[in-house]
């Protein structure tokens, strides 16, 4: 075989191998049982609308064997939540932070662009030490809108996930709010809703490769 033809074939083979490798990005390693997970959010993370132990972080812990810390604070906003994140990360560095925030900002009619930037800062602070971060998409609702239409995720969560290179679990919360039998009120799940939410989040985490 002429040397020039052999060289071209080697180059083509190398290029093909590189393209194949690029198309098969490795999934992150699964979280082992006992791993610490920080569920960082508002009343929907806290479990408002259901009884003790019926919130989605508790149910997620039971399903996975992870140690899930419920850092949900009723009434919290993306604008304010960043101030309480650093102490939580320092107290017990988690392997994963699940961020569910923005609903109260939307109810207060804050511009979605501002909410997006607040959540971006939270994501970056959480990821600064190498912690993995997953976003939970939240619908952009008003109290009136919650009563009159089927909710859907605000687009800021998909945009933010793409821009920051992190996973987002979509449609889980919105789908629950669209089913009155799963809700305690217009903006909170009931016990069955939280059970469904934990199942949906677990399915999303499995797709991502974390479980």
Domain boundaries, the chain: 29-208
Pairing label, strands 67-72, 36-41: parallel
Per-residue pLDDT averaged across 80-97, rounded? 96
Q: Does residue 37 sit in helix, strand or coil? A: strand
Per-residue pLDDT averaged across 59-66, rounded? 98
What rounded mean pLDDT belongs to the chain?
88
Please tell me the predicted confidence (pLDDT) of residue 2: 52
Q: Is the pLDDT of residue 144 over 90?
A: no
Q: Is the pLDDT of residue 22 over 90?
A: no
Label residue 142 by pLDDT band (50, 70, 90): low
**Tokens standing for 79?**
């604008």
Any idea what the Cα angle at residue 70 is, between residues 134 and 40, rounded to 5°?
35
Q: What proportion of the chain, given as a percentage, has pLDDT over 90?
A: 81
Q: Is the pLDDT of residue 113 over 80?
A: yes
Please tell me the predicted confidence (pLDDT) of residue 185: 95
Here the contacts of 203-208 (C-beta below 8 Å, separation 24 or greater) are 204/134, 204/167, 204/169, 204/170, 204/172, 205/134, 205/169, 208/27, 208/28, 208/134, 208/167, 208/169
Q: Is the pLDDT of residue 14 over 50?
A: no
Q: Which fold has domain 29-208?
A: Rossmann fold (3.40.50)
Contact (Cβ atoms closer than 8 angstroms) between residue 119 and residue 155: no
Cβ neighbors of 89 (< 8 A, separation 6 or more) are: 38, 97, 125, 126, 129, 131
Name the helix (H) or strand (E) containing 172: helix 172-177
Task: Dump pLDDT digits (tens) for 27-40.
Answer: 568 999 999 999 99
Backbone angles phi, psi at 204, to 5 degrees: -65, -40
């Amino acid at each position: 075989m002429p040397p020039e033809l052999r060289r071209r074939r080697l180059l083509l083979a190398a290029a093909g191998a590189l393209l194949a490798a690029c198309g098969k990005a490795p999934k992150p390693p699964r979280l082992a049982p006992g791993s610490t997970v920080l569920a960082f959010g508002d009343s929907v993370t806290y479990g408002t609308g259901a009884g003790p132990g019926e919130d989605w972080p508790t149910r997620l812990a039971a399903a996975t064997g992870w140690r899930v810390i419920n850092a949900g604070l009723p009434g919290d906003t993306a604008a304010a939540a960043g101030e309480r994140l650093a102490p939580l990360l320092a107290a017990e560095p988690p392997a994963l932070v699940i961020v569910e925030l923005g609903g109260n900002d939307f109810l207060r009619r804050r511009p979605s662009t501002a909410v997006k930037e607040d959540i971006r800062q939270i994501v970056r602070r959480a990821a600064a030490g190498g912690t993995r971060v997953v976003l939970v998409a939240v619908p952009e609702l008003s109290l009136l809108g919650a009563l009159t239409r089927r909710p859907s995720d605000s687009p800021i969560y998909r945009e933010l996930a793409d821009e920051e290179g992190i996973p987002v679990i979509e449609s889980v919360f919105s789908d629950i709010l669209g089913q009155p039998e799963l809700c305690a009120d217009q903006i909170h799940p009931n016990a069955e809703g939280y059970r469904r939410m934990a199942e949906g989040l677990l399915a999303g985490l499995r797709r991502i490769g974390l479980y």
